A and B are shown apart, each in its own frame.
Chain A
């Protein structure tokens, strides 16, 4: 069994295009998992190892977080490569859930960009300790000091450099390690020959100052070091122990630098991963006890204890369904029988593999804290596995509601079959991707977190499942809600032939501040018999599915019943359901319903000279500009814009700013649409009804 203190489960996270994949590629090379380096957009056409999906290679971005295993100086490291685009944030969040530590990559020129802020917030939410790596120090305009300042100001991290670069931009020679006070050079064609020398005289002074600053910051975490610093005798071990302690407590973030592309500093980063990031037993993980109202229980990480494993990612590969699991407690062995806590189904562990992007290595067992993949296990992502003796679940992950949808129509019968297979797979893999059939138009609708999100799935359908589909115009997920209280008193009566139907309900509906729906039973004296009260509830819920304004989902409603009448023979479950539905419809229009639309928080980052035109473009799209933040030559503009107006914005922005600006957006809230837009939506919905 492996020593848990020598296991690292880390993630690599950053803004799009900061060089995550390139860095991962270098790590794999130095740890001898691969024997040649391929660039992301390389001319050799092989593509980087981690970008295993065809589509990713084509677009130069990483979509799925492939898990990869490597060894560095007697430590085992599991790396989860995470996507950088906001549309795929669920992937990032899911990856973070199973990580113990992370490397936050920043571009030395771009600094802290909007996505880094999102990722950093997510890491804080899941309490993931991190080290920062300032990449691309070879680029023109590289300025690590500026980036460190931004780390402090924008991300609120206690970021302190533990290295000093020797030269920047074109003439970067190597790095100086402030802990060991040595200069490190990376020789050889692939930078794999490390040469350690004394610090060159011209950097000596700068290094002394920076080391002093670093010691000041880290001695906060160790009294022993504090004393040693005062006496002038701090040892390497003491400093490293203090940095580790600070990092694990999330109150300190060591900053490393280098250039993955130019093969500088990657090995030192790997050392830092071993030295400063937590092992599985250093972090606390909690499971939810389903027998005791989801009470939190700390997992033990002991290999001898009952099994607790979380499936955090599914992939449909050449060999069937592949399930990535992280074991939190106990040991997972080949041939074991395990139970899916959600479904209660038993399954047998047929093959257990360790993943290396898309190649794999068969293993016999996986200890707690490890990340491995299983074959042929039927489950959805987020499911927990045990041996059946435990009714625990790893905490449910926060899943945002989809905000955009598209209709898709297969071009022929064959595509139809493949499409349903693909959709079945995708919905299991990705909880933010949903699909359903519109009962009226009989079209298949897919919904997700953004245009690109759905685009990628449509592309994958085409490539992986050969399902050619035509795509409808994107639709925004509108909602309806009411703005005031309204009463109803409705009698449902049907007495023509056969057994009759009778039910009367009275009550009111009113806006609900928080939550989607609430049912209140205020019946006294049994005017509605007990057994029919759930029927009323059911009736209301049916009404919520489709509002009378534009047929959107109705949310934020409290339905209460306080009076009614029944008939000894004619009352039935269905009669009361229909009465409740009639009552709701009667009150709904009186309650001044409004249409709500999803509002996105948009951050546009671009050179200052384009600021005016960027603002103009946001204004045109019914955007509400919240403000601007002035950086040196860059300005970040934040605005809240309705999602319906954001279609095609990336193209517009590009042409407006000569491709120099970029934007990210994430869902912010739902807000009522302005009157003019509401009227248009209603008349559109009415036209659709007539058809």
Chain B
């Protein structure tokens, strides 16, 4: 299979923001219970950008560099194997050059530091990202102001930013459909999706809470392969 086909099967192709939002500076949010695959989907989103020869910054709060790197390696391997990608090793090496991981200890994350780092990277000509994924941002204690700052950053740097958040179970979901702890913040995001494992059917439902799917056939529900997080064949 060629790189092109890989790109087409990526779920992010099917996520459109609200009509007025520019794709290049959108804010996205992936929500799920712990262990469903938030990081996997974020990595998938990042890989999509990488396969399109764009550059990506992966911000990981509370996870080590090695672990984050492993996510990419595993994810890429699964996809490459699952789709029988030709010259996988070569593609891997070439796209990983466009990825940069910045890790923060849980308590050490700050917007100012991140901004400084990003400017550094652009200035030193190391990387000019068009996509940034932020894994492990603390929404429970997180400040709305920080997220607003992130939105400004997205606009200023022409950067799409995707976050992950752990949805809390058992709490009533408000009318907006956005579960805690992110309810009340939905106005900050252009796209919000919720991942849910479907028991006994070997797939993961991707519910689009905000924004719309590009493919009308599936409406606001996409089915993903739990291993590769690609759209399943029967739903295309």
Contact = CB atoms under 8 A, between A and B. Distances in A.
B96 A624 contact: yes
B103 A630 contact: yes
Interface string B206-236: 0000000000000000000000000000000
B103 A627 contact: yes
Contacts of B126: 615-616, 619, 625
Contacts of A616: 124-126
A145 interface: no
A638 to B, nearest CB: 5
Contacts of B90: 672
A612 B124 contact: yes
A671 interface: yes
A20 B93 CA distance: 40
Contacts of B69: 626-627
A453 to B, nearest CB: 25
B155 to A, nearest CB: 24
Interface string A610-650: 01110110010000111111111000001000000000000
Contacts of B58: 627
A110 B108 CA distance: 18
A624 B108 contact: no
B97 interface: yes
A260 B108 CA distance: 31
Contacts of A625: 100, 126
B100 A627 contact: yes
A628 B124 contact: no
A305 interface: no
A208 interface: no
Interface stretch (B1-9, B113-121, B173-181): B113-121
A153 interface: yes
Contacts of B101: 626-628
A626 B123 CA distance: 18
Interface in B77-121: 90, 93, 96-97, 100-105, 108, 113, 117, 120-121
B168 interface: no
A625 B55 CA distance: 13
Contact of A615 (B103, B104, B121): B121
Contacts of B124: 612-613, 615-616, 619
Given A612-B120, A612-B124, A615-B121, A627 B104 contact: no
A625 B123 CA distance: 15
A153 B105 contact: yes
Number of contact residues on B: which range applies?
Answer: 20 to 34
Contacts of A627: 58, 65, 68-69, 100-103
Contacts of A626: 65, 69, 100-101
Contacts of A672: 90
Nearest to A637: B65
Contacts of B104: 629-630
Nearest to A603: B65
Nearest to B104: A630
B177 to A, nearest CB: 35
B135 to A, nearest CB: 13
Contact of B102 (A154, A612, A630): A630
A619 B125 CA distance: 9
Interface in A578-629: 611-613, 615-616, 619, 624-629
Nearest to B116: A608
Nearest to B107: A149
B100 A611 contact: no
A628 B100 CA distance: 8
Contacts of B123: 612
A613 B121 CA distance: 10
Contacts of B121: 615
A469 to B, nearest CB: 38
Contact of A638 (B65, B96, B97): B65
A612 B120 CA distance: 6
Interface string B170-188: 0000000000000000000
B73 to A, nearest CB: 11
Contacts of A630: 102-105, 108, 113, 117
B103 A628 contact: yes
Contacts of B100: 625-628
B141 to A, nearest CB: 19
B105 A628 contact: no
Given A616-B124, A616-B126, A629 B113 contact: no
Interface string B124-141: 111000000000000000
A443 to B, nearest CB: 34
A298 B140 CA distance: 52
A611 B105 contact: no
Nearest to A611: B120
A612 to B, nearest CB: 5
Specify which of A612, A627, A671 lies most central, judged by the most chain B CB atoms within 10 Å of its CB: A627
A7 to B, nearest CB: 37
A629 B120 contact: no
B58 to A, nearest CB: 8
A612 B117 CA distance: 9
Contacts of A632: 108
B103 A629 contact: yes
A638 B60 CA distance: 15
Contacts of B102: 627-630
13 contacts: A154-B64, A612-B120, A612-B123, A619-B124, A626-B101, A627-B65, A628-B65, A629-B102, A630-B108, A630-B117, A631-B108, A632-B108, A671-B93
Interface of A: 153-154, 611-613, 615-616, 619, 624-632, 638, 671-672
Given A611-B120, A631-B108, A672-B90, 7 more contacts: A154-B64, A627-B100, A627-B103, A628-B101, A628-B103, A629-B104, A630-B117
Interface of B: 58, 64-65, 68-69, 90, 93, 96-97, 100-105, 108, 113, 117, 120-121, 123-126
The 5 closest A-B pairs by CB, nearest first: A627-B101, A629-B103, A612-B124, A612-B120, A627-B65
